C-alpha cells in the first residue's frame, strides 16, 4: 500500500475515533438534542409541566383552582382579559351537585361582536379515587399550547381581538366514559350562550391530547369540510400531514356542543383508542414531546391565520 493511500484510509477510519477522545476536537460538531428545542415548544412544555406540578385536577379540586389561577395570570401578562364562568350541575354517578368554572379570555377590550373564532381545551383531569391520574396529554398539553399561542398572538392584536379562548371544566365523565348525561359539562354550558347570541363565531378549534410522543391525531368523521381542509392545508405547509387522519366515526368531545349550537368546530384530538396509556397513570410528563407540541403549535397557528383571512 502506498503512503498516500494509507494516509487517506487513516483519516477516514482511525482519525474520527481518536478525535472523539481529545478535548475540544468536536467543538464544531455539537451533539444535538433528540427534540427540537424551539422557543414555542419549550414554553408550551413548561406550561404543561407547571400544570402537572399541582397534581390531579378533577372538578372542585385545589389543583384545578391553582390551574385556573395560573392560566389567568399567564394570559393577563400578555394582554388578555379573563372572565370565570361558574355554574352548577348534578353529577349522576356521584349523586350530588358540583360547581364547575370555565374560563373565557378575550384580548384587551375585545367585545363579543368582534369574535370570529374560538380556540379551546379542557382543564380538568379525570376523577379516579385512590389513583394519581396526572392527565399530562389529556389535556394539560393542549392548555400549554394555547397559552403559548396566546403569548404569540399579542404581537398580532388584530388577529387576537377576533379570537375567544375558552378553557372548559368538567369535560371528563365521572362514570367510566363520556355519555349524553355525563361529561362535557363545561362545553355544554358555554355553548348555551351562543345559541341565543345575536352573532355567533364562524368556527371553533378544540385541542385535546396533542403533545404525546409520536404524535397521531384522528379528527372526527363529521368534521365540517372547510375546517378539515384548513387542518390538512396547515399540516402540509408544516410538513406534518402524516400525523393527521380522519376517524371512521364521530367522537364525543367538547366540539359536539359547539357544533350543536351552530358553531362549526373541529376537534384536533389524539387517537386515544390506540393509546394503551390513555386514562392511566402512564399519562404523565414523560409522555410529552416538545416536537409534538411544536407541530401542534405550528398547525394551529397556520389554521388561525387561514381562517381569519376569510
Residue 30 lies in a domain: no
Query: Does residue 297 surpass a pLDDT of 90?
Result: yes
Residue 36 lies in a domain: no
Residue 101 lies in a domain: yes
Q: What percent of the chain has pLDDT over 70?
A: 88
Residue 5 lies in a domain: no
Determine the average pLDDT of the residues in 85-99.
97
Cα(81)–Cα(104) distance, integer angstroms: 8
Cα within 13 Å of Cα(174), Cβ side: 18
Does the predicted TM-score (pTM) go above 0.85? yes
C-alpha distances (whole Å) from 283 to each of 65, 134, 136, 174 are 21, 6, 6, 18
Residue 45 lies in a domain: yes
Query: Does residue 285 surpass a pLDDT of 90?
Result: yes
The total number of structural domains in the chain stands at: 1
A 10 A CB-CB count for 105 gives 22
Cα(120)–Cα(187) distance, integer angstroms: 9
Cα(175)–Cα(82) distance, integer angstroms: 31
Residue 55 lies in a domain: yes
Cα(9)–Cα(4) distance, integer angstroms: 9
pLDDT at 273: 87
Task: Kindly report the CATH number assigned to the domain that includes residue 275.
Answer: 3.40.630.10
Closest CA to 209 of 280, 296, 128, 147: 296
Q: Are 121 and 167 in contact (CB under 8 A)?
A: yes
Q: Which residues of 55-85 are buried (b: 16+ CB within 10 A; e: fewer)?
A: bbbbbebebbebbbebbbebbeebebebeeb
Query: Does residue 30 surpass a pLDDT of 80?
Result: no
Residue 86 lies in a domain: yes
Residue with cell 397559552: 147
Query: Does residue 27 surpass a pLDDT of 50?
Result: no
Domain that holds residue 138: 41-309
A 10 A CB-CB count for 238 gives 18
Per-residue model confidence as pLDDT tens digits over 151-185: 999 999 999 999 999 999 999 999 999 999 999 99
Q: Exposed, middle or buried, 250 (CB in 10 Å: 0-12/13-18/19+)?
A: middle
Residue 18 lies in a domain: no
Amino acid at each position: 500500500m502506498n503512503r498516500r493511500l494509507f494516509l487517506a484510509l487513516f483519516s477516514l477510519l482511525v482519525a474520527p475515533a481518536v478525535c472523539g477522545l481529545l478535548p475540544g476536537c468536536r467543538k464544531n460538531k455539537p451533539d444535538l438534542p433528540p427534540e427540537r428545542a424551539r422557543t414555542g415548544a419549550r414554553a408550551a412544555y413548561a406550561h404543561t409541566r407547571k400544570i402537572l406540578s399541582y397534581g390531579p385536577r378533577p372538578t372542585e379540586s385545589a389543583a384545578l383552582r391553582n390551574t385556573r389561577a395560573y392560566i389567568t395570570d399567564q394570559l393577563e401578562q400578555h394582554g388578555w382579559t379573563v372572565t370565570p364562568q361558574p355554574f352548577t350541575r348534578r353529577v349522576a354517578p356521584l349523586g350530588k351537585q358540583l360547581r364547575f368554572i370555565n374560563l373565557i379570555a378575550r384580548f384587551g377590550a375585545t367585545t363579543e361582536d368582534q369574535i370570529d373564532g374560538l380556540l379551546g381545551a379542557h382543564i380538568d383531569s379525570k376523577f379516579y379515587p385512590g389513583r394519581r391520574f396526572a392527565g399530562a396529554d389529556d389535556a394539560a398539553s393542549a392548555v400549554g399550547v394555547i397559552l403559548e399561542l396566546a403569548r404569540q398572538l399579542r404581537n398580532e392584536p388584530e388577529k387576537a381581538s377576533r379570537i375567544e379562548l375558552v378553557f372548559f371544566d368538567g369535560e371528563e365523565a365521572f362514570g367510566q366514559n363520556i355519555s349524553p348525561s355525563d361529561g362535557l359539562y363545561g362545553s355544554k354550558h358555554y355553548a348555551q350562550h351562543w345559541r341565543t347570541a345575536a352573532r355567533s363565531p364562524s368556527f371553533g378549534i378544540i385541542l385535546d391530547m396533542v403533545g404525546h410522543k409520536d404524535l397521531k391525531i384522528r379528527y372526527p368523521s363529521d368534521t365540517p369540510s372547510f375546517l378539515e381542509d384548513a387542518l390538512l392545508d396547515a399540516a402540509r405547509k408544516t410538513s406534518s400531514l402524516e400525523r393527521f387522519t380522519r376517524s371512521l366515526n364521530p367522537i364525543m368531545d367538547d366540539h359536539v356542543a359547539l357544533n350543536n349550537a351552530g358553531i362549526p368546530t373541529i376537534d384536533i384530538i389524539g387517537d386515544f383508542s390506540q393509546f394503551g396509556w390513555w386514562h392511566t397513570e402512564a399519562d404523565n410528563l414523560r409522555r410529552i414531546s416538545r416536537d409534538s407540541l411544536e407541530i401542534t403549535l405550528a398547525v394551529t397557528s397556520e389554521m388561525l391565520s387561514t381562517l381569519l383571512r376569510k
